[in-house]
Structures are given as C-alpha cells and as structure tokens.
Amino acid sequence: MKIFDERFLPNGDQKPEDYGVYPKSVHSAPNGETVFMARERESDVLIAPEQVGFIGARFTNQAGDACVKAPLNHENAALLRKIFPFASPRPVLGESRTFGVGDRLGIAAPGHLRALRRYDALPVLAQQSIRELNLTNRTYDDVLDRATFAVFREDWDRGFGADGDHLKTLDEVKYALSCGYTMITLDCGDRIRNNVGDMTDAQVGETYSPRPDWEKKYVGRRVTLDRGVSLEFDEASFARMALIYGDAIEFACEIYNALIKDAAVDFEISIDETMTPTTPAQHYFVARELLDRGVSFASIAPRFCGEFQKGIDYIGDIDQFRREFLAHAAIAKHFGYKISVHSGSDKFAVFPIVGELTEGRFHVKTAGTNWLEAMRLVAMKDPGLYREVHRFALSAFDDACRYYHITGNPRNIPNVDKIADDKLPVLFEQNDSRQLIHITYGMILSERSADGSFVFKDRLNRLWRENDEAYFDLLDAHIGRHLELLYRGFENI
Ligand SMILES: [Zn+2]
C-alpha cells in the first residue's frame, strides 16, 4: 500500500473517497507507477498510468499523466497477476491451516478476507467444481480473476490458493491447470465401487482377484499408529477394500503421472463422494498405496461417518465422529499430509474436534454458505424480491433434489407470505428453508423470462452491489464463526 496522491484522480475537485478509491488498493508497481482500484456504480475499475499496460479508456489525470481506466476483465487480471505476484494464487496446502471459501457469485472474497485476517489460516479463494461452473455459467478464468481483484483491492498479501475442485477426468484437470489453478482436487468417486457393501463374502470372493503384493503387505497385518490407533487387515475386509478402492488408486496414479507430477500444485485425493463412510483402514490403504507408487499429495478427503449435508450443521453421532476422526487424523499425521473436510459449511458441531485432533493442521472447504448469506441479505433488504425467489425455489425444489442428498422438507417451511418483512431473515435459521435456498441456487440464477432476460439474477446482483458492505459484514461474522470454532479446538492444547 502507498500514500495516495489526489492528482492521480481524473477530476480536480474530488477527494479519493468521493471518487470511490478503495484505500487498501493503492499499490506501487515495480517501476513506481501507482495502480489502484475505484468503485463505479455498476462495477469496479483499475486505474493506472498508460505505460503499465492495462486495456481500457484513456484519460489524463490531474498530474497531467496519461492514464487508463480499465475494466475488471480477464486480460487486465492476467496483467495484474504479472505485475503484483501477491495477486496470483500459489500452492498453500503445505501451511498448517488452510480454508477453502468457494465463491459462486464472485462477490464474496472481500468478506471472506475480513474474517481470515484475524487468523493465520491461508485461504483458497477460487474453489469451484465443474458442476458449480455450469450451474453459475462461469469459467475457471472468471473465478480466479474475481479472487485476484479482491486480493488486490483488499491488499491481501499473505497468499491464496486456487482449487479446481472435484475434478473427475483428465480433461477437467488439464482445464484447471491451464487456467493457473494451484490445487487439483481429484474426485475418485466414479472409480470407487459402490456396490461392494451389498455383496456377500462369497460374491466378493468371486469378483476380487487377489494381488500377491497387496496380500503380502496387508492381509493379517496390524498397523499401530500414534494415540493408540490400531488398524487391522483381515482377509475378508481387505478383499472388500481392494475391490472398492482398487480402480480409484489406479486412476489417481494415472492422473498424477500424466499431469500433476511436474506441476507445482497441491494435489488432493477426494474419496468422499461415496455411498458409505471411509473406514480408517480403508483410508490407510488408499494413502499407503498412493505413496508407495510415488504419488505425492497434500491432502485426502475421506467420507466421514454421519452426514455432511449442504448448508446445515453436522448430523450424526458426535462421539463416533470423534473416535473415527482421531484415527483419520493419526493416519494423515503418520504419512505427513492433511485431512481435508469437505462440505464444511456450517459444521459447527465438529469444528472443535477437527481443530483438536488434527493438532491444528487441517484443510476445510466451504462453499454454499456465502450464497445463503447473500440470500439472507436479500431477505433483510428487499422482502418482496426475497418472497419471489423463495416461491420460485419451492417450485424448483423437486428438480433440484435430484442433484443433492438432503433431508430438508419444504412442508416444514412457514408460508413466506404470512411472515412479516422483518422476520424473513429468520428463515435462514431454519434447516429446511436453508436447504431449499441452498440447492436451488443454480436454478434461481439461471431462470429466464420469455424474452430471454434473467428473472432474478440482475436484480439480485444490483441488490448485492448496493449493499456490499452489509454483505461483507454477514460473511465476516459467518466465516469467522467457522474459524473461531476450528481454532478453539487446538489453541488451548
Ligand atoms: Zn467432496
């Protein structure tokens, strides 16, 4: 950050605050030119002397310098990253604490950064799956560019990551890497055999062809780890785990060797999208096989016991979660990677356990929470618009349910037309309505009228822009609560 000179402005009679200069965005380029960001009604702009190279409208500032007012587009984001390395993502998972904050709308990062400033965790600001890109009609470039501009605007110089989340194919991984993403989360779910749980031992025996190297390494063995964790591999359970995870291990090796090995990125193995929880022994098996085959990775996301549903707190037996998480954490510590907790939005009941049992080394991903906070803001600021969206969400609920496993039931949601304006935000304290709004986000944002215009999207964007400070405050409090509970788990150890 540098001291702002009013002569950098286009008009002589304006103060920086009248012109909308973001105070923290004032930076000095390597050649000494001042680059900053300012707010216009519809969007923000970058302002810099012409020779810096941004593409935009030219003007002469009060000091008589030829300048450019540049829109926040991809070309200008790429140049910004080049000039200011802190605006580029980098691998961050090696840090003890990292926190993924997917931002589906591309407007939440300043709020996320406010909460993160109070903690030492590094953020992964760009974090989207291909499905999320499709539902929001965005690209990996756009998602990363929004993070870059937010980091520049807020002067966040501690570093951040960009996660191609839940990627399932070679082409998807290539796509994220080509856009400069610094983390690849490989979703092995399609290669995990989900029907093994229903097989009898005899059926397993018929399907599984034993591999001598695996048999020798695992069957009949007991592995003892820190904190009294011990894992046993008997013949029957091993045959099952080899059947469930054999292909997934193969797939992760292929992707690693083809694309990850020589790239400086964080590699995360995601085995959480399965029908049944990952047992500690299964987790150990997958990790050890990958490591023995030379795959190096930053984190594994197992599927934990209980339910991590979208947008609501943990559902399940906390004592069992604690017992199993202890084993998962001990395995990760033993091999030297981090446990990654997916669908981490609002899982307040388990955060202290995650913080404690990982001894403060974790990656947690949240995504939907900022969307719900954005809709809470709509309920607070424009009750009429909120009711419209809510009614639409109810009509879209059955369709949206096909993509999500949730227990929320629209019948438990009070009639939105009978709730007083000032009570509407209370809907966001209720699990059924949280899930209703959560799972219908893609449909809400993409719904169009007969003339092709968006039914809600433009009005929502306008409201969010006009009330962005209020939105950042909501996010600060909400993400702050996540971090506070995670840190509470280990800070007093
Ligand atoms: Zn996941």
Tens of pLDDT along 420-461?
A: 999 999 999 999 999 999 999 999 999 999 999 999 999 999
**Domain limits, the chain:** 6-73, 87-369+478-491, 375-475
Query: Looking at the DSSP assignment, which residues form a beta bridge with residue 57?
Result: 69
Is 75 an annotated catalytic residue? Answer: no
Q: Does pLDDT of 1 surpass 80?
A: no
Q: For residue 477, which of 376, 365, 352 has the smallest C-alpha distance? A: 376
108-143 per-position pLDDT tens digit = 999 999 999 999 999 999 999 999 999 888 999 999
What's the 272 CA to ligand 1 centre distance in angstroms? 5
Q: Does pLDDT of 368 surpass 80?
A: no
Q: Does pLDDT of 5 surpass 70?
A: yes
Q: For residue 443, which of 100, 104, 42, 127 has the smallest C-alpha distance? A: 104
- For the chain, how many residues are written? 493
What's the 277 CA to ligand 1 centre distance in angstroms? 12
Can you state the angle between helices 369-381 and 468-491, rounded to 10 degrees? 140
Query: Looking at the DSSP assignment, which residues form a beta bridge with residue 299?
Result: 268, 338
Quote the CA–CA distance of 241 and 286 in Å, as a whole number.
9
232-242 per-position pLDDT tens digit = 999 999 999 99
**Catalytic annotation, pick one of 142, 165, 187, 356:** 165
Is 103 an annotated catalytic residue? Answer: no
Give the pLDDT band of residue 406 (cuts 50, 70, 90).
confident
158-215 per-position pLDDT tens digit = 999 999 999 999 999 999 999 999 999 999 999 999 999 899 999 999 999 999 999 9
Quote the CA–CA distance of 321 and 363 in Å, as a whole number.
17
Q: What proportion of the chain, given as a percentage, has pLDDT over 70?
A: 99
Quote the CA–CA distance of 422 and 380 in Å, as a whole number.
7
pLDDT at 136: 87
* CATH, domain 87-369+478-491, list 3.30.70.1350, 3.30.930.10, 3.40.190.10, 3.20.20.70: 3.20.20.70
What's the 363 CA to ligand 1 centre distance in angstroms? 12
Q: Does pLDDT of 228 surpass 70?
A: yes
Q: Who contacts 471 (Cβ-Cβ below 8 Å, separation ≥6)?
A: 107, 108, 111, 373, 374, 377, 464
- pLDDT, mean over the chain: 95
Quote the CA–CA distance of 38 and 70 in Å, as a whole number.
10
70-110 per-position pLDDT tens digit = 999 999 999 999 999 999 999 999 999 999 999 999 999 99
3-state secondary structure the chain: CCCCCHHHCCCCCCCHHHHCECHHHCEECCCCCEEEEEECCCCEEEEEEHHHCCCCEEEECCCCCEEEEEECCHHHHHHHHHHCHHHCCCCCCCCCEEEEECCCCCCCHHHHHHHHCCCCCEEEEEEEEHHHHHHHCCCHHHHHHHHHHHHHHHCCCCCCEEEEEEECCHHHHHHHHHCCCCEEEEECHHHCCCCHHHCCHHHHHHHCCCCHHHHHHHCCEEEECHHHCEEEECHHHHHHHHHHHHHHHHHHHHHHHHHHCCCCCEEEEECCCCCCCCCHHHHHHHHHHHHHCCCCCCEEECCCCCECCCCCCCECCHHHHHHHHHHHHHHHHHHCCEEEECCCCCCCCCHHHHHHHCCCCEEEEECCHHHHHHHHHHHHHCHHHHHHHHHHHHHHHHHHHCCCCCCCCHHHCCCHHHCCHHHHHHHHHCHHHHHHHHHCHHHHHHCECCCCCECCHHHHHHHHHHCHHHHHHHHHHHHHHHHHHHHHHHHCC
Token pair, residue 183, equals 């983390």
Q: Residues 354-369: what's their mean pLDDT?
A: 94
387-403 per-position pLDDT tens digit = 999 999 999 999 988 87
Quote the CA–CA distance of 306 and 313 in Å, as a whole number.
11
Token pair, residue 241, equals 């785990």
What's the 283 CA to ligand 1 centre distance in angstroms? 15
Give the pLDDT band of residue 2 (cuts 50, 70, 90).
low
Residue 415 amino acid letter: N
Q: Does pLDDT of 151 surpass 90?
A: yes
19-68 per-position pLDDT tens digit = 999 999 999 999 999 999 999 988 999 999 999 999 999 999 999 999 99
What's the 290 CA to ligand 1 centre distance in angstroms? 19
Residue 36 amino acid letter: F
Quote the CA–CA distance of 328 and 302 in Å, as a whole number.
8
Quote the CA–CA distance of 129 and 172 in Å, as a whole number.
10
On the CB side of 91, CA atoms within 13 Å amount to 16
What's the 166 CA to ligand 1 centre distance in angstroms? 7
**Catalytic annotation, pick one of 44, 145, 154, 268:** 268
> 390 phi and psi, to 5 degrees?
-60, -45
pLDDT at 208: 92
256-284 per-position pLDDT tens digit = 999 999 999 999 999 998 888 999 999 99
pLDDT at 478: 96
What's the 301 CA to ligand 1 centre distance in angstroms? 7
Q: Who contacts 12 (Cβ-Cβ below 8 Å, separation ≥6)?
A: 62
Q: Who contacts 398 (Cβ-Cβ below 8 Å, separation ≥6)?
A: none
Residue 365 amino acid letter: K
- Sort 387 into a burial class: Cβ within 10 Å, 0-12 / 13-18 / 19+: middle
